Amino acid sequence: MKYVKVLKRVYEPRRLGQAWQQVKKNAGAAGIDQMTVKDFERQKDELLKLIHQKLKAGMYRFKPARRTLIPKESTSKLRKLGIPVVMDRVASQSVNLVFQKIFDPEFTKSNYGFRKGMSQRQAIYHVQGIVLEGYEWCASIDLASFFDEIPHNLILKLIRRKIADEGLVTLIARALKAGTVVNGEFEKTTKGCRSSRQGCNPAGESPAVSVARVGYVVMPHLGAGNQPSYAWCKRPGCPVAFVELRWVQPGGLSSVGA
């Protein structure tokens, strides 16, 4: 079954209000327009109405994300961080709320990362149970630079597997192509979605955060048949890479997303 009229769910005033509350809770730095979360709050009724009207008319346009670099955990490397404007965070968080209802049921019970009501602690308990069953070896498989390299057309193709609403697909495509501003210069985004989302910032909302969530939900179905071939892994507040933990014992195999 494919979902229709999905964009209509995104611009519902009630859902936009919920999205704003999440953005407010997460806070975060200002984007290229220098509007802070507090600035938005002072005129939230007017701005939420404007977002609603533009989404409904199919005229919403995402602004480029402000690019900065942050230290990459456990290495000397730096990670790209795209900071979107607050209005775009609200719009994308509303998309995310809709996508959660559509895609979350696709997860297996062993997927714990970045899901509402799921936690790392639960993943640990699951792993403890696996160990008690006799599994002794664990293989961790990481798709390097996933967010930097995933092709835009693949993301849109995966969305269309579940959603028959070209208005919504167009909105996501615009988010992907919104670009970034680096040292005052505009840069196009031709692949990936890291540069146009908030990266590892716990705020999490951005022009392409919904795309990232689609990726972790539907990419597992690129495996054999309809069975997920990998699970999702995260560190606190941030989806970082696809990982499958495979626990091996004679005559058996088990996996968990942590």
Summarised one tens digit per residue, pLDDT across range 78-124 is 877 889 999 999 999 999 899 888 888 877 777 777 677 888 888 88
pLDDT tens per residue, range 27-83: 889 999 999 999 999 999 999 999 999 999 999 999 999 988 888 777 788 877 889
What is residue 75's DSSP assignment? S
pTM, rounded to two decimals: 0.75
pLDDT at 150: 80
Tens digit of each residue's pLDDT (9 = 90 or more) over 143-202: 677 777 788 888 888 889 899 999 999 999 999 899 999 988 999 988 877 554 433 233
How many Cα atoms occupy the beta-carbon half-sphere of 40 within 13 Å? 27
Give the residue among 239, 143, 150 at the shortest CA–CA distance from 190: 150
Grouping H, G, I as helix, E, B as strand and the rest as coil, residue 137 is: strand
Measured distance CA(58)–CA(139) in Å, rounded: 45
